[in-house]
Structure 1
């Protein structure tokens, strides 16, 4: 139990800028196991976005409230996944070979491809969420953030890490069956909570959109890289999250 709690805290520490207690000891085994809690951390981030949206919407119109809620998510995560999305597009767009792409993705500077992808992603989120009914949006945030991080975990389980070293290396050494099960159960719980509180049809459309985003993003980078990096996991999360929102909107 102590190891599981430590892994959960490591997941929070890795995916967000939230403070965590310092009593636990880091180990690669615990870091690897932390992937089991990525969806749960995603739900926490999404719940924060929902709370910010609800609070701000008491004073401001939907567009302003959505932008502030998205900004709150960026603040609490340090734009961690958005940075991965931008680096992925810079690398795949600017690198003619796998090695060249990986080298570009290591560069901390933001290029044209990454800038365009980041602007497009934030614009799509803003436009889509603003178009959703407020009551659905409150549940869309935690569902999308949680399920899109499950999408990243699925990538961990079904692809290979292509760098010799990197921030994702400890997690990439192998996702155990119990960890995958915990992440999957969290995803199932998100879906069941949605079905209990809202109609099933928009969830189905959202899941279809999420799956399309997952597959499309993986096809985009795996064709060249033949695997994944920490940056591309962020790109998968972003594409899956946006796909979920677009699926909800398509249902309306």
Structure 2
């Protein structure tokens, strides 16, 4: 009888522990009163950490909007492209934002929200040299100096499709000055970033921004196996697009061809 009682007690405690472990982020975020958001802070127009310590950008504004919908505050969790997935898997955040590209490697370890936008890879170069870097064949040459931030999909693209070119890794904040100072020739990046930097920095031009060298999509990174949380984020995103809130934020930041 004692053995049966002990067995039942252990089973009950295991059930309780499993229930505690499986609590959705939707519940825990509301209970704790804060939304933990991982972001790199180095990728305009999506996420940028200003010198005064405040974050700004498209995804930053949307994260604040998500927190508001839950009646909680945002807790920013600084990360980098190299440490994004380890930090996320360590449970440091409820969501990761900041121009994150959808990839199968990331999908193996986490969920993605519904797609935000389509955004493929293109070259960003000095305007007077656009004709030299129209194709991958023109870029994938030993004399071409590529510059990319470490650890993201841009670096992965270059390793896969332009292995013959010279590659230098640089921080994503001052990387564009490398192009302007003629210390590098080409940066392969997402069309949205290239268009934004084209508008911000005279002398830099996005090459064929509507003709992607590689198709890409943007989304938010979410914890794996938490469908309640993913369903909430997806529905919030759907409504944000339906009522125009998302488009308004994007319009405040994103450059478009011809502007």
**TM-score normalised over the length of structure 1:** 0.25
Larger radius of gyration: 2
Structure having the higher strand fraction is 2
Structure having the higher helix fraction is 1
**TM-score normalised over the length of structure 2:** 0.25
